[in-house]
Amino acid sequence: MVQIKTPDQIRKMREAGLVVAAIHAATREAAVPGATTRDLDEVARKVIAEHGAKSNFLGYGGFPATICTSKNEVVVHGIPSEKVVLEDGDIISIDCGAIIDGWHGDAAYTAFVGSGHSPELIELSRVTEESMWAGIAAMKAGNRLVDISRAIETYIRRQPKPGGGKYGIVEDYGGHGIGTEMHMDPHLLNYVERRRGKGPKLVPGFCLAIEPMVSLGTPRTEVLEDDWTVITTDGTWSSHWEHSVALTEEGPLVLTAPDGGKAKLAEMGVTAAPDPLG
């Protein structure tokens, strides 16, 4: 069953989404050479407390931290640690969420630590982020879930990879429904798997966390002994971008983007829904 939200419920999710956006801004500023991933977690904890929100990551399935910090070959679910120190040239994805009055927000971004990053890494992050926006633009009433998957995959497949070869679209993880829980039906693949069919029809009130994960090599992953940290099986670096999005009567609203997705969607010829918080 897909949970369909009312406008008032989407308003609450927007409040949670703006807390997530504030965490992103603060951790992005703190992701500098010499910082530990535990330092970033402390920054996130403070932002959540300042906004009177709750963390939806801390304690989830036993997860021991407020955010996921996934560096270089770590795809997702990296655990913040004093032992993981950021170095010049690293990339790191910060995945985090917040709860306001029982309603969830969830989003991730990839940050460049320091300077001197290769064009290959810069392009990896760009392709991953832009594929997310392609998926968001496909979140239209009357479309099916598979149309979002197709938009993400099509964008990635059409991008030439510096040095040749193909990008790896991570197979074992994807997007999801979001609302009164962080992970809800439906599961959203970042590629089209024909045996799954077209999926549910998108209608106003449908809310999704759209999150492509892309590597410079394999689409395959493995989980480390901590039962959380997911890495690429070939050690290639990866990028992860995510936004929580609500489909309204007036179009998509990017709940975790400061401007609701207005500017980026306008570039793509899509009108974002008005921000219910003004």
Which tens digits make up the pLDDT trace of 185-234?
999 999 999 877 899 999 999 999 999 999 999 999 999 999 999 999 99
Condensed to tens digits (0 to 9), the pLDDT of residues 224-253 reads 999 999 999 999 999 999 999 999 999 999
Q: Which residues contact 159 (CB under 8 A, 6 or more apart)?
A: 123, 127, 167
pLDDT at 195: 79
Residue 208 lies in a domain: yes
Residue 29 lies in a domain: yes
Here the CATH number for the domain that contains residue 15 is 3.90.230.10
What does the DSSP assignment read for 72-95? TTEEE-PPP-TT-B--TT-EEEEE
pLDDT at 197: 82
Q: Which residues contact 227 (CB under 8 A, 6 or more apart)?
A: none
Residue 86 lies in a domain: yes
CA 133 to chain centre: 11
Condensed to tens digits (0 to 9), the pLDDT of residues 29-42 reads 999 999 999 999 99
Q: How many helices (H) and strands (E) does the chain have?
A: 5, 14
Determine what percent of the chain is predicted with pLDDT higher than 70.
Answer: 100
Q: Helix, strand or coil for residue 239?
A: strand
pLDDT of residue 53 exceeding 90? yes
Residue 142 lies in a domain: yes
Condensed to tens digits (0 to 9), the pLDDT of residues 100-113 reads 999 999 999 999 99
Q: Contact at 8 Å (CB) between 99 and 52?
A: no
Give the count of domains, the chain: 1
Residue 55 lies in a domain: yes
Question: Angle, to 10 degrees, between the axis of helix 37-50 and the axis of helix 7-30?
Answer: 140
Residue 277 lies in a domain: no
Do β-strands 213-215 and 230-232 pair in parallel, antiparallel, or remain unpaired?
unpaired
Read off the pLDDT of each residue in 21-49 and give the average, rounded to a whole number: 98
Residue 248 lies in a domain: yes
b/e code 171-180 from CB counts within 10 Å (16+ = b): eebbbbbbbe
Residue 2 lies in a domain: no
Question: Angle, to 10 degrees, between the axis of helix 119-137 and the axis of helix 145-157?
Answer: 150
Cut 0.95: pTM above it: yes
* Domain span holding position 161: 7-267
